[in-house]
Amino acid sequence: MHWSPLLILLSAVLVVACERPAPVTQVQAEAFADAMVTRQGEDWGRSRQARVLPSPDAQGRVWWQVIYRPGPEGQYRWMAVNRDTGWTRVGRGDPDVKYQRGLDAVDPADRQPQRWILLIDEIASDASADDVKKSWQELSQHAARRQEAALAHIPAAYGIRRSAHSYQLLWGWNDGAGTEIADEDRQALSRLHPEARWIPWTGDTVSPE
């Protein structure tokens, strides 16, 4: 049987059209997110983290979450990129809550009471005893400096906690129950600690690990 070149070409086109496109990679997701930021006329700098949400949304779609540094008022800044299509939209709410519970999670701002733990810094504890002691001293000094710098009306609730793998400098740990704080004060602490990560308290004792 002789196949004409046109029939062969049409068959190849049909095969390609029926193939499922490859999922969006991390590099592509970051590029899509950066492009959306640019289209909005914003400058968020380079993304800090990109990760796939652990569960699909209500429509069964899987999303990349591309996270940037907090804004000048401490507001969250991230983009959601569809893993299958590359369609991109602005993320809303706390990205860590979205990661833990999926894209349809309730924003922490909708919860009452408003209780938080701020993970400011951590130092790995898999070092020698001398290194661990030095790290502990550095964190203690860092906490003392931050207490002095804290705004007068914000409690200087800094502390150090040893986790399984690191020493953690925290604000508002309160034995794992978090600390109630007004949104404007939370934003002020975010400006004081721009690299820190807020962890919402949702009714149970939580660990920042």
pLDDT score of 33: 94
What does the block give as tokens for 149?
Answer: 């710098």
pLDDT the model gives residue 114: 63
Q: Where are the domains of the chain?
A: 26-109, 115-200
Query: In this predicted structure, what is the pLDDT of residue 32?
Result: 93
Please report the beta strands in the chain, taking only residues with DSSP state E, as ranges in sequence order.
49-52, 63-67, 78-82, 88-90, 115-124, 158-162, 166-171, 179-180, 197-200
Q: Are 96 and 197 in contact (CB under 8 A)?
A: yes
Residue (of 61, 124, 94, 127) closest to 201 by Cα position: 94
How far apart (Å, rounded) are the C-alpha atoms in residues 95 and 93?
6
CA dist 64 and 34 (Å) reads 13
According to the model, what pLDDT value does residue 19 have?
A: 55
In tens digits, the chain (209 residues) has pLDDT values of 455 555 555 555 454 444 557 889 988 999 999 999 998 888 888 888 888 988 888 788 899 999 988 877 677 889 999 999 999 998 888 888 787 777 776 554 444 446 788 888 877 777 677 777 777 787 777 777 777 777 777 777 888 887 777 788 888 888 777 888 877 788 788 888 877 888 777 554 444 44
Q: What's the predicted TM-score (pTM) here?
A: 0.47
- Going from the C-alpha of 62 to that of each of 65, 77, 78, 85, the distances in angstroms are 10, 19, 16, 10
pLDDT confidence of residue 205: 47
Residues in the chain: 209
Give me the half-sphere count of Cα atoms (radius 13 Å) on the Cβ side of residue 170. 24
* pLDDT of 209: 44
Q: Contact at 8 Å (CB) between 146 and 194?
A: no
Backbone φ and ψ for 196, nearest 5 degrees, come out as -75, 165
